[in-house]
């Protein structure tokens, strides 16, 4: 994995912008601490920072072939198949990297090549003869790619801070930006970078920029198809896909580990991976004294520790438990915000930031169970009637509270804003004419989760890990697996009324029974009252300061929330009252750190 960026301007000589290009590259150093490169032509500059994993000696970027040059961030999981196909056409390779495969595939097949790719990636290819630039992002948005388009050109990069380093992009936010921060946050509108005129290439999309025109197209979108397999055939198909996806994502040139929570998803990934190494390193996150304060909830029925040890003993893995305390969580809220360039998931981010930081001392690559809940129906809104039929984003029960949290003069039409985004998303869902009412709703929930909820989690996964020079791979986000699951009938997905029933059935013979039958539990949080007290103390300090934050939020409502015993479901099961306070602190940090300017 790496970081990449660039600047195309048809009225500038980019040789004169070399210092700005170097500054852009420096913003990517943490994503790619092993190497870096800059490519400069008259109107185009490309920058790259590399985390060396495959073919360390010959994998330096940017890579050029004839008139074409690529900067690439990602991993391709069907490299061998594509390489064989290209070699039959007469192409020869100078390295073992997937970067070279992606570039030669584009030269051979043009934009049609993107449909052939299976992996997680964001890349840019420049043709110095035609002066055409192409930007491409993977099917489900695992890897980031932001851009800022202006009259004579475009600036782009893996991070928003990369765009700021060009000096032409400013940290300006609009009323819509504030709506995203306060009404959707930590989520955001697909394709939006929140800052004014900063956008993202959408999942499955490419963008072409040449001297004559600029246009976007989708090379991949989820499509409804008939499912013709029996339950038994479906279970076997899932088993093959899951195992193949995990095995394809195991590095061959370096060692690797897995993130292990004791849940179904990470246990499957770890068990399959363990077969392919002598002793698999596994990494587990825990919180100091959490056993003293844990409270059972509908969303978090148990803790992970006992289940983790079941898997460790089953695999005889090289186990590493990383323990975090309250001060570390609190202090790292700032670094986590900077890694996103925006307020994020509060201590859900900062804890993962610290987790990755500790792992990166020992590993460059780990595999995670992320994304299985989205595709196999692990969240309550897939099966709980109270959430399933909500005519809005099912993970958001907090619109009324979010509205009250803001000063009356800040925003307007809040419900209309959220409802419009929800409806626009639903309008893009692909159905079959034969789909019944419940099947249609499950397609909608699947689509909402893939392109909204999962995007927030993938952002977190990428930013927190790559800010520490660690690559986290997500086998459950394999496009073959995602599109297969999208088309499984709902009555099959919840066999015997069980969440993630098909995945359990497919993989139960390789896992201990305790793991297979464990109730889903989300990413763990600290339950320490000390952490909450630290948040309360700091938010009260902030509310007494004369800053931009205090002109946006209603202090009385924040104080009411602190004193009230009622819980808040801010963002599904992941963010409750402590996380809301931490999120608000991240908003204040963000406003100050980026010297944000508000434009109404």
pLDDT of 240 = 98
pLDDT of 504 = 95
Average pLDDT over residues 432-444: 95
CA distance 311 to 13: 58
Query: Which of 77, 74, 71, 69 is closest to 129 using CA atoms?
Result: 69
Average pLDDT over residues 77-103: 92
Q: Which two tokens stand for residue 37?
A: 């490169």
φ, ψ dihedrals at 480, nearest 5°: -65, -40
CA distance 425 to 479: 20
Task: Examine the pLDDT at 253 and tell me if it is beyond 90.
Answer: no
Place 209 in a pLDDT band, splitting at 50, 70 and 90: very high
Average pLDDT over residues 133-159: 97
Place 96 in a pLDDT band, splitting at 50, 70 and 90: confident
Say whether 2 is catalytic.
yes
Place 61 in a pLDDT band, splitting at 50, 70 and 90: confident
Percent above pLDDT 90 for the chain: 79
Q: Where are the domains of the chain?
A: 2-218, 231-384+456-516
Task: Examine the pLDDT at 463 and tell me if it is beyond 60.
Answer: yes
Query: Which of 458, 519, 452, 450 is closest to 485 using CA atoms?
Result: 450
Task: Examine the pLDDT at 493 and tell me if it is beyond 80.
Answer: yes
The 10 Å Cβ neighbour count of residue 327 is: 12
pLDDT of 298 = 56
145-160 CB burial, b ≥16 within 10 A, e <16: bbbbeeeebbbbbbbb
Classified by CATH at the fold level, domain 231-384+456-516 comes out as Rossmann fold (3.40.50)
Place 299 in a pLDDT band, splitting at 50, 70 and 90: low
Higher pLDDT, 90 or 573: 90
Average pLDDT over residues 364-377: 95
- Over the chain, what is the mean pLDDT? 92
CA distance 394 to 388: 7
Task: Examine the pLDDT at 302 and tell me if it is beyond 80.
Answer: no
Give residue for tokens 């419940």: 438
Q: Residues near 57 by Cβ (< 8 Å), separated by ≥ 6?
A: none
Place 364 in a pLDDT band, splitting at 50, 70 and 90: very high
- What counts of helices (H) and strands (E) characterise the chain? 26, 19
Place 52 in a pLDDT band, splitting at 50, 70 and 90: low
Lowest average pLDDT, out of 45-54, 128-137, 465-474, goes to 45-54
CA distance 122 to 135: 8
pLDDT of 525 = 83
Place 19 in a pLDDT band, splitting at 50, 70 and 90: very high
Average pLDDT over residues 211-217: 95
Query: Which of 2, 356, 461, 477 is flagged as catalytic?
Result: 2
Task: Examine the pLDDT at 57 and tell me if it is beyond 80.
Answer: no
Beta bridge partners of 214: 209
CA distance 512 to 14: 59
CA distance 289 to 553: 33
What architecture (CATH level 2) is domain 2-218?
4-Layer Sandwich (3.60)
pLDDT of 295 = 66
Percent above pLDDT 70 for the chain: 97
Is 121 exposed, middle or buried (CB count within 10 Å of its CB: 0-12, 13-18, 19+)?
buried
Average pLDDT over residues 379-391: 88
pLDDT of 331 = 97
* Global confidence as pTM: 0.95
Average pLDDT over residues 443-460: 96
CA distance 207 to 216: 4
Task: Examine the pLDDT at 453 and tell me if it is beyond 90.
Answer: yes
Average pLDDT over residues 425-453: 96
Place 4 in a pLDDT band, splitting at 50, 70 and 90: very high
φ, ψ dihedrals at 19, nearest 5°: -65, -40
């Amino acid at each position: 994995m790496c970081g990449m960026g660039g600047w195309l301007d048809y009225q500038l000589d980019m040789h004169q912008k070399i210092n700005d290009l170097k500054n852009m590259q420096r913003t990517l150093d943490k994503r790619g601490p092993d190497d870096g490169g800059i490519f400069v032509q008259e109107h185009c500059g490309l920058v790259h920072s590399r985390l060396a994993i495959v073919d360390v000696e010959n994998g330096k970027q940017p890579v050029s072939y004839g008139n074409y040059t690529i900067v690439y961030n990602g991993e391709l999981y069907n490299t061998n198949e594509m390489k064989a196909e290209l070699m039959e056409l007469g192409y020869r390779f100078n390295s073992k990297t997937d970067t070279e495969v992606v570039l030669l595939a584009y030269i051979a097949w043009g934009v049609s090549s993107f449909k052939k790719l299976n992996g997680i990636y964001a890349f840019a290819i420049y043709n110095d003869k035609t002066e055409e630039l192409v930007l491409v992002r993977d099917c489900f948005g695992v890897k980031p790619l932001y851009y800022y388009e202006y009259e004579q050109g475009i600036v782009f990069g893996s991070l928003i801070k990369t765009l700021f380093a060009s000096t032409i992009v400013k940290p300006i936010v609009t009323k819509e930006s504030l709506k995203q921060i306060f009404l959707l946050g930590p989520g955001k509108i697909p394709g939006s970078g929140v800052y004014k005129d900063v956008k993202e290439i959408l999942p499955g999309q490419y963008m072409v920029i040449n001297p004559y025109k600029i246009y976007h197209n989708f090379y991949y979108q989820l499509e409804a198809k008939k499912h013709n397999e029996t339950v038994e055939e479906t279970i076997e198909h899932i088993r093959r896909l899951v195992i193949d996806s995990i095995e394809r994502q195991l590095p061959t040139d370096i060692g690797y580990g897995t993130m292990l929570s004791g849940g179904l998803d990470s246990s499957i990934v770890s068990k399959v991976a363990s077969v392919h190494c002598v002793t698999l390193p596994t990494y587990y996150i825990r919180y100091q004294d959490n056993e003293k304060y844990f409270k059972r909830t509908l969303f978090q029925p148990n803790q992970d520790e006992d289940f983790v040890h079941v898997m460790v003993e089953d695999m005889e893995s090289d186990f590493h438990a990383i323990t975090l305390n309250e001060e570390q969580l609190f202090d790292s809220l700032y670094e986590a915000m900077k890694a996103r360039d925006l307020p994020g998931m509060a201590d859900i981010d900062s804890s993962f930031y610290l987790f990755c930081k500790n792992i990166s001392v020992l590993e460059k690559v780990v595999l995670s169970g992320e994304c299985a809940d989205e595709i196999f129906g692990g969240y309550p809104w897939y099966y709980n009637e109270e959430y399933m039929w909500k005519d809005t984003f099912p993970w958001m029960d907090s619109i009324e509270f979010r509205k009250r949290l803001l000063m009356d003069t800040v925003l307007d039409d809040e419900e209309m804003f959220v409802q419009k985004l929800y409806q626009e998303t639903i309008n893009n869902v692909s159905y079959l004419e034969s789909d019944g009412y419940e099947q249609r709703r499950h397609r909608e929930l699947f689509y909402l989760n893939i392109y909204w909820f999962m995007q927030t989690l993938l952002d977190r996964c990428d930013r927190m890990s790559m800010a520490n020079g660690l690559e986290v791979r997500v086998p459950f986000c394999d496009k073959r697996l995602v599109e297969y699951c999208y088309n499984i009938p709902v009555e099959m997905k919840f066999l015997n009324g069980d969440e993630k029933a098909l995945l359990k059935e497919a993989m139960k013979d390789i896992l201990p029974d305790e793991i297979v039958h464990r109730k889903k539990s989300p990413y763990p949080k600290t339950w320490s009252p000390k952490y909450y007290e630290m948040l309360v103390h700091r938010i009260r300090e902030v509310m007494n300061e004369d800053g931009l934050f205090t002109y946006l939020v209603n202090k009385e409502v924040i104080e009411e929330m602190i004193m009230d015993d009622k819980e808040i479901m801010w963002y599904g099961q992941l963010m409750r009252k402590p996380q809301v306070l931490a999120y608000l602190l991240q908003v204040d940090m963000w406003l100050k750190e980026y010297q944000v300017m508000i434009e109404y």
